[in-house]
Structure 1
Amino acid sequence: MIRAHALTKTYGTRTVVQDLTFTVRPGTVTGFLGPNGAGKSTTLRMLLGLDAPTRGHATVDGRPYASHPAPLTRVGALLEARAVHPGRTARGHLRSLALTHGLPRRRVAEVLEVTGLTGVADRRVKGFSLGMGQRLGIASALLGDPAALVLDEPVNGLDPEGVLWIRTLLRSLAAEGRTVLVSSHLMSEMALTADRLIVIGRGRLLADTTVDDLVRRSGGRTVRVVTPRSADLRRAVLSAHPHAEVTADGPDALEVRGVDAADIGRAAAGEAVPLYELTPRDPSLEQAFMDLTRDTVEYQGAAA
């Protein structure tokens, strides 16, 4: 079990993480989400003892990560997959890590097999693609057969087969009773992988809940409408429902939020606008996340 209690990190006058408290429990995949600059990486580094908190503390199974006599067997971590000497081979890198904890050679062979790197195990890391480097980072995290995993953007650089593989791997590890904390910007992947979510913004906790509950609470159900007179329909809907959100969703298609399908149909009928499609959609995790974090985004691009 991983616990953060009142974690706070300040650099000069800037507070990056503030009073962050949460628990990551065994047997679940917990997604760790937040906009760029939210403090996710700093939080992960504090969990692993790489950054000292200004206030608060973090524990793994009741004690600081660094105080465990064999930390690789408690938490396997992937924070920066490319943090490997480029002149080493994949096997050599894993073997050097194994020696620090007295792990057997067979464990190196096992994680190379699990991550699909056996065929390139004796190639130098400097020749690895982004995806291969990511697999090596995951192999390093798995090396100690840890009770918990902390992974920062583990699908970065992976092809579709690799994304499916890591999703299946994380869920199987959680099913074994392990603690899994994974950070990602891919909301569609988190919707398929995570059981619970911890969402932060500007260093503060915004939500600690299940995926289903976060989506349900967003209240963001939308309706997809297809019509050859989309401009007329937009005007009709906004005239009757000024607080509705109407956005383009493809050629001759609109996405309407804040108005149900029946009201859209009535607005269309009032203006004799033909409808080819009127389909309610349940909210997505991506939309729920954007709604939750809208006021905490530091870096926003201007509309084109």
Structure 2
Amino acid sequence: MIEARSLTKRYGAKTAVADLSFTVRPGIVTGFLGPNGAGKSTTMRMILGLDRPSSGSVTVNGKAYAEHTAPLHEVGALLEAKAIHTGRTAYNHLLALAATTGIPRSRVDEVIDVVGLREVARKRAGGFSLGMGQRLGIASALLGDPDTLILDEPVNGLDPEGILWIRNLLKDLASEGRTVFVSSHLMSEMALTAEHLIVIGQGRLIADTSVAEFISRASSGSVKVRSPHAARLRELLAGPDVTVSSAEEGTLTVAGLTSDRIGTIAAENQITLFELAPKEASLEEAFMELTNDAVEYRAPASGTGTAKPVAAPATGSNTGSETDSNPDVEVTA
């Protein structure tokens, strides 16, 4: 379990993370979302003791990361896949980690097989593709068989087979009762992998909720109906609190009635329906809507020119990108 309480990080006059509190629970995959510059990388670095909070605290399994006597057995992390000795083979990279943390050599062979690097295990990691580097980074995170995993963009550089593999791996690890905390910008994949979301913007908490609830908050609540008798159905559905519109023949968009009620009215009047579907926002649409005011870098609407910083809020918190003062986090242009 990861517990953050009033977590704050300042770099000079700039606030990257502001009074952030959340709990990442075991047994499910928790997604960590936010626009570039939102404070995600800084938050994960504070969880792992790489950055010290200006105020507040964060613990993993009840202790600060530095207080664990065998941290690699408690927490497996992937923040930067290429943070490896490029002259070492994949096998020797993992063996060096194992030797310094009391992990048996047999575990090195196990994780190499888990991540699918057996054929290249004796090749130098410096020649690996981005996807192979990601697999090696994930192997490093799994090496200590930890109860908690913190992964930043784990599908970056993976091919479709690799994306499916990491999706199933994360779900399997969570089903074993582990805490799985995953940051990603790939919304379609997060929708398939995560059950819970923690969303931040400009260093502050925007949402701490299930994926279903997050999407529901951004959904219109309307229902799409297709019927060969759309005109008649429209008359039957009309009411003071009901709005019915039609963008094409045979199709209605109904707001103010549930799909169950529409289906019942159609059945009572012997009206055939070809489609009856609540219109639900995608995770990407929900994310864009709920984080719109927290986007720090936004491209011009025309798609040309140079992206410019969005004005920071009047409160003065997070008055610049977390990357301005922290060289360890990503930069977008």
> Into which bin does the TM-score normalised by the smaller protein fall?
0.7 to 0.9
Q: Is the 8 A contact 2:32 2:183 kept in 1?
A: yes
Alignment-derived partner of residue 132 in structure 2: 132
SS in structure 2 of the partner of residue 30 of structure 1: strand
Q: Aligned pairs, how many? A: 264
Quick one: which amino acid aligns to residue 167 of structure 1? Answer: R
Alignment-derived partner of residue 279 in structure 2: 281
Alignment-derived partner of residue 39 in structure 1: 39
Q: Provide the rounded CA distance (Å) in 1 between the counterparts of 2:219 and 2:182.
A: 26
Q: Provide the rounded CA distance (Å) in 2 between the counterparts of 1:153 and 1:221.
A: 32
- CA positional deviation for 1:224: 8.4
Q: What does 1:84-95 align with in structure 2 at a 5 Å threshold?
A: 84-95=84-95
Alignment-derived partner of residue 109 in structure 1: 109
Q: Provide the rounded CA distance (Å) in 2 between the counterparts of 1:206 and 1:222.
A: 25
Residues 264 and 27 of structure 1, relative CA distance in 2, 3 Å threshold: same
- CA positional deviation for 1:67: 1.1
Alignment-derived partner of residue 290 in structure 1: 288
Quick one: which amino acid aligns to residue 297 of structure 2? Answer: Y
SS in structure 2 of the partner of residue 263 of structure 1: strand
- CA positional deviation for 1:62: 1.0
Confirm or deny that 1:15 pairs with 2:15: yes
- CA positional deviation for 1:159: 0.3
Alignment-derived partner of residue 245 in structure 2: 264
Q: Provide the rounded CA distance (Å) in 2 between the counterparts of 1:149 and 1:85.
A: 22
Q: Provide the rounded CA distance (Å) in 2 between the counterparts of 1:44 and 1:276.
A: 51
Alignment-derived partner of residue 200 in structure 1: 200
- CA positional deviation for 1:281: 3.0
- CA positional deviation for 1:176: 0.3
SS in structure 2 of the partner of residue 77 of structure 1: strand
Q: Provide the rounded CA distance (Å) in 2 between the counterparts of 1:127 and 1:118.
A: 15
The one of 284, 301, 304 aligned to 1:303: 301
- CA positional deviation for 1:222: 7.0
- CA positional deviation for 1:264: 2.5
Q: Provide the rounded CA distance (Å) in 2 between the counterparts of 1:220 and 1:32.
A: 24
Residues 29 and 188 of structure 1, relative CA distance in 2, 3 Å threshold: same
Quick one: which amino acid aligns to residue 54 of structure 2? Answer: T
Alignment-derived partner of residue 161 in structure 1: 161
Alignment-derived partner of residue 119 in structure 1: 119
Quick one: which amino acid aligns to residue 297 of structure 1? Answer: V
Residues 174-197 of structure 1, C-alpha deviations (whole Å, 9 max, x = no match)? 000000000000111111100100
Alignment-derived partner of residue 97 in structure 1: 97
Question: What is the RMSD computed on CA atoms of the aligned residues?
Answer: 2.0
- CA positional deviation for 1:101: 1.0
Residues 91-129 of structure 1, C-alpha deviations (whole Å, 9 max, x = no match)? 010000001111111100000000000110000011100
- CA positional deviation for 1:278: 5.6
Quick one: which amino acid aligns to residue 249 of structure 2? Answer: L
Q: Provide the rounded CA distance (Å) in 2 between the counterparts of 1:221 and 1:162.
A: 35
Q: Is the 8 A contact 1:10 1:16 kept in 2?
A: yes
Q: Provide the rounded CA distance (Å) in 1 between the counterparts of 2:222 and 2:94.
A: 49
Q: Is the 8 A contact 2:220 2:279 kept in 1?
A: no
Q: Which runs of 4+ in 1 moved over 6 A?
A: 222-225
Q: Provide the rounded CA distance (Å) in 1 between the counterparts of 2:209 and 2:224.
A: 28
TM-score (norm: length of structure 1) = 0.83
Alignment-derived partner of residue 77 in structure 1: 77
Residues 61-98 of structure 1, C-alpha deviations (whole Å, 9 max, x = no match)? 11111110110000000000000011010001000000
Moved more, 280-289 or 43-52: 280-289
Q: Is the 8 A contact 1:221 1:281 kept in 2?
A: yes
- CA positional deviation for 1:303: 1.5
Q: Provide the rounded CA distance (Å) in 1 between the counterparts of 2:223 and 2:13.
A: 45
Q: Provide the rounded CA distance (Å) in 2 between the counterparts of 1:278 and 1:114.
A: 50
SS in structure 2 of the partner of residue 185 of structure 1: coil
SS in structure 2 of the partner of residue 4 of structure 1: strand
Q: Provide the rounded CA distance (Å) in 2 between the counterparts of 1:135 and 1:3.
A: 27
Gaps of 5+ in 1: 226-259, 269-273
Alignment-derived partner of residue 232 in structure 2: none
